[in-house]
Amino acid sequence: MQLHWLNDDERIEAFGFYKKFMPHARLTKKEKLGVFFAENSASKPIIAAVRLRPIGSYQLLTGILVHPGNRGQGVGHQLMQALKPHLESAPSFLFSLPHLRNFYQQHQFEGDRQAPAEIRDLFSRYTREGKSLYLMCHSSNEP
């Protein structure tokens, strides 16, 4: 599958995808928004999406979403493979839910205690709201 990065004019369908399957997500125009389209359907619906949010000279991988009908088929792994060059282009972080930590570890993310202040501050804000999350860094960013 090919990851398609959407420009501002192409984001309408992706907003609907997030609204339906991840209603708490807050998409912003400054984020890069990538999607997988179903290749075996004439209408080419979105089956997976991801966002890269710039934070200073870093990026936060966020909003990773696979359509419920496509889960368990390796789509998430394909998405992470397609993201690899982008994750290696700048120090990349994510906030993992506990049950997804092993998934991200399979894709070179590791627990990170030395994240930059901008990332730590945002992580602290989320966890103060009661969210159980793990701060992870892509290993290509390690010294």
pLDDT attached to residue 45: 92
Q: What is the pLDDT along the chain (143 residues), one digit of tens a residue?
A: 899 999 988 899 999 999 999 998 888 889 999 999 998 766 789 999 999 999 999 999 999 999 999 999 999 999 999 999 999 999 999 999 999 999 999 999 998 768 999 999 999 998 998 889 999 999 876 54
Q: What sections of 3-116 are H helices per DSSP?
A: 12-21, 75-87, 101-105
Kindly give, in sequence order, each residue whose CB lies less than 8 Å from that of residue 38, ignoring residues fewer than 6 positions away. Answer: 44, 45, 46, 47
Kindly give, in sequence order, each residue whose CB lies less than 8 Å from that of residue 134, ignoring residues fewer than 6 positions away. Answer: 95, 96, 97, 98, 101, 111
pLDDT attached to residue 36: 96
| DSSP 3-state of 91 | coil
For the entire predicted model, the pTM comes to 0.90
